[in-house]
């Protein structure tokens, strides 16, 4: 695996800007239809940024006795399809990541060699591949690797293993682990993994967060269970706020999404499975409540004999949930959607006409598997709180400096005496600090926050004063 380096701070600052997404008018088209079965794809796409970024999709193809891993650039979209590796031995479960610093792509997949399962990797840059490398050749069983921009995780004999160039290979958890998903953007968080743990039919979702060296404390993995119920599988990260997973109730698969406000999709008789979540920041609305809207994409067997991809939109601030929308709506089965964000070019903060929300899935029809997608233009607008008449006299300012280490200053204004609550949350929605909690008279205030006891990452600070509420992101970068 290639060298893992910290992105430039300027990009991290850009990631913290508040943006707004208008329109979700998805248009569905085939994406990968080459001969053979095209399946088990992986996408490397960026967070919402204001800079150009290439995105890639890799997938496995079986044509007769040939097993091939392919790679294609989809942002900006190119016609070329590159062969990562091809053999008569099965090559399966590919994953891909993109390094923005040097515009290189890393592909990892599983194959078989000398009576063992093997994890291979190749790097792709300037339209060519380097030599094939073996990451591990000691796997007894099939595994499903997960690759972020800094980390690789996989399962070996029930153990959850993590690899990067800083820590090497480490055992994160050692018993009954399965289906790991590494958080893809380490610029936003420290190393963090979700995975299933337990016996089949009784699994729970766990989180593992890497806690690095702090003073005399040795680095370690902090393990916590994050689900309830009797059977939970298929976890998936949201880019900004929380995650989603499946839970079985009364023999039916439902979805649980978590962020600042937990939510469960309460279907009755059909299964909702293989969810992917897309979220994005939204500047304070006219109600004065900061909103974090998002949508869930998932497949369902609500139509007998014809699985379809559905989307459900959420608006967390007012708990509003729009009607489910079937946007695959085609013969055959549509399964395993993944949500992504595409940004075709550099543009100013107030344009963004080339940005797109995207959902990609497997389409199976007439005994052939292909890859389809649905794309929706995104109009991104940077807004300032001065544009909001409701909060013209209330103000929560962006902390300065940002990023910071270890302390930063947060300024705010209140026009009348109010009880003021300022709290800090991590990206899973867990409160980690109370910064202010007291009655204050009208005026301008500054408070200094010390993050010495917290790990590096993005946090949300919220201000509640009477009916006013606002939130912003801050970045602790040690």
SS3 13: helix
Contact 182, 146 (CB under 8 A): yes
Give the tens place of pLDDT for each residue, 333-344.
999 999 988 876
* Mean pLDDT in residue range 399-420: 87
Cis peptide bond prior to 81, omega within 30° of 0: no
Q: What are φ and ψ of residue 121, in 5° steps? A: -145, 150
pLDDT at residue 289, as a whole number = 38
Residue 215: C-alpha distances to residues 211, 219, 417 (Å): 12, 10, 41
Strands (E), 366-414: 368-380, 395-396, 407-414
Query: Structure tokens of 432?
Result: 């980690």
In this structure, is the dihedral angle defined by the CA atoms of residues 286, 288, 289 and 292, taken in order, positive or negative? positive
Backbone φ/ψ region at 218: left (φ over 0), alpha (ψ -120 to 50), beta: beta
SS3 234: strand
Reported pTM? 0.74
CA distance 173 to 167: 15
Q: Which residues contact 214 (CB under 8 A, 6 or more apart)?
A: none
Other Cβ atoms less than 10 A from the Cβ of 329: the count is: 13
Give the tens place of pLDDT for each residue, 298-310.
999 988 889 999 8
Contact 43, 56 (CB under 8 A): yes
Distance, C-alpha 170 to centroid of its chain = 23
CA distance 415 to 394: 6
Q: What is the rounded average pLDDT for all residues in the chain? A: 80
CA distance 14 to 9: 9
pLDDT at residue 315, as a whole number = 56
Rg from Cα positions in the chain: 23
Q: Using 50, 70 and 90 to split pLDDT, how confident is the model at 49?
A: low
Q: Which residues contact 294 (CB under 8 A, 6 or more apart)?
A: 238, 241, 257, 259, 277, 278, 279, 280, 313, 314, 316
Residues in the chain: 478
* Mean pLDDT in residue range 391-411: 82
pLDDT at residue 465, as a whole number = 85
Residue predicted with more confidence, 16 or 455: 455
pLDDT at residue 347, as a whole number = 36
- Residue 141's Cβ-count burial label (10 Å; 0-12, 13-18, 19+) is exposed
DSSP calls for 305-364: T--EEEEEEEEGGGTEEPPPEE----SSEEEEEEEEEEE-S---TT--TTEEEEEEEEEE
CA distance 374 to 271: 22
CA distance 434 to 463: 11
Nearest to 400 by CA among 410, 388, 386, 392: 410
Identify any residues that bridge with 136 across adjacent strands, giving them in sequence order.
119
CA distance 164 to 149: 10
CA distance 445 to 436: 11
Triad 246, 250, 252: Cα angle to 5°: 45
Helix (H) or strand (E) holding 461, with range, is strand 457-465
Residue 60: C-alpha distances to residues 15, 65, 343, 367 (Å): 32, 13, 25, 16
Give the tens place of pLDDT for each residue, 87-125.
999 999 999 999 877 889 999 999 988 888 899 999 999
SS3 389: helix
Q: What are φ and ψ of residue 390, in 5° steps? A: -65, -35
The proportion of the chain whose per-residue pLDDT surpasses 70, expressed as a percent, equals: 78
Give the tens place of pLDDT for each residue, 203-229.
999 999 888 765 566 788 999 999 988
Query: Structure tokens of 415?
Result: 């026009």
pLDDT at residue 456, as a whole number = 87
DSSP 214: B
Q: Is the pLDDT of residue 22 over 60?
A: no
Residues 180, 26, 100, 44, Cα dihedral to 10°: 30
* Mean pLDDT in residue range 318-326: 60
pLDDT at residue 314, as a whole number = 64
Q: Which residues of 64-95 are buried (b: 16+ CB within 10 A; e: fewer)?
A: eeebbbbbbbbbeeeeeebebbeeeeebbbbb
Q: Which residues contact 230 (CB under 8 A, 6 or more apart)?
A: 202, 248
């Amino acid at each position: 695996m290639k060298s893992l380096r910290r992105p430039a701070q300027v990009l991290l600052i850009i990631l913290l800007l508040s943006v707004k997404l208008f329109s979700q008018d998805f248009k569905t088209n085939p994406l990968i239809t080459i001969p053979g079965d095209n399946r088990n794809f992986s996408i490397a796409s960026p967070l919402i940024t204001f800079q150009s970024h290439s995105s890639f999709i890799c997938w496995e193809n079986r044509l007769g006795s040939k097993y091939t891993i392919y790679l294609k650039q989809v942002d900006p979209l190119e016609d070329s399809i590159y062969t990562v590796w091809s053999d008569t031995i099965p090559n399966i479960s590919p994953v891909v990541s993109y390094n923005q610093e040097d515009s290189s792509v890393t592909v990892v997949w599983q194959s078989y060699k000398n009576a063992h399962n093997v994890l291979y990797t190749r790097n792709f840059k300037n339209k060519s591949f380097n030599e094939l490398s073996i990451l591990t050749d000691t796997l007894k069983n099939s595994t499903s690797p997960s690759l972020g921009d800094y980390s690789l995780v996989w399962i070996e004999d029930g153990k959850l293993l993590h690899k990067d160039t800083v820590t090497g290979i480490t055992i994160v958890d050692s018993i009954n682990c399965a289906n790991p998903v590494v958080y893809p953007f380490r610029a936003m968080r420290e190393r963090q993994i979700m995975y299933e743990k337990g016996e089949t039919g009784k699994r729970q979702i766990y989180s593992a967060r890497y806690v690095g060296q702090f003073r005399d404390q040795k680095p370690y993995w902090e393990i916590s269970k994050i689900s309830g119920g009797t059977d939970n599988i298929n976890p998936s990260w949201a880019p900004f706020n929380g995650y989603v997973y499946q839970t079985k109730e009364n023999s039916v698969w439902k979805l649980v999404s978590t962020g600042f406000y937990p939510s469960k999709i309460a279907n009755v008789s059909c299964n909702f499975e293989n969810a992917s979540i897309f979220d994005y920041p939204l500047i304070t609305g006219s109600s004065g409540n900061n909103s974090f809207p998002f949508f869930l994409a998932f497949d369902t067997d609500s139509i007998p004999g014809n699985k379809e991809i559905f989307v459900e939109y959420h608006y967390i601030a007012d708990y509003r949930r729009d009607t489910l929308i079937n946007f695959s709506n085609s013969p055959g089965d549509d399964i395993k959607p993944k949500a992504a964000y595409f940004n075709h070019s550099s543009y100013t903060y107030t344009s963004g006409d080339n940005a797109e929300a995207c959902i990609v899935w497997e389409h199976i029809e007439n005994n052939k598997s292909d890859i389809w997608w649905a794309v929706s233009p995104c109009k991104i607008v940077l807004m300032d709180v001065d544009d909001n008449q409701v909060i013209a006299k209330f103000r929560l300012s962006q902390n300065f400096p940002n990023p910071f280490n270890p302390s930063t200053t947060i300024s705010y204004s209140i026009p009348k005496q109010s009880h003021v609550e300022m709290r800090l949350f991590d990206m899973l929605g867990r409160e980690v600090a109370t910064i202010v909690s007291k009655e204050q008279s009208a005026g301008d205030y500054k408070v200094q926050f010390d993050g010495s006891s917290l790990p590096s990452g993005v946090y949300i600070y919220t201000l509640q004063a009477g009916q006013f509420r606002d939130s912003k992101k801050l970045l602790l970068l040690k």
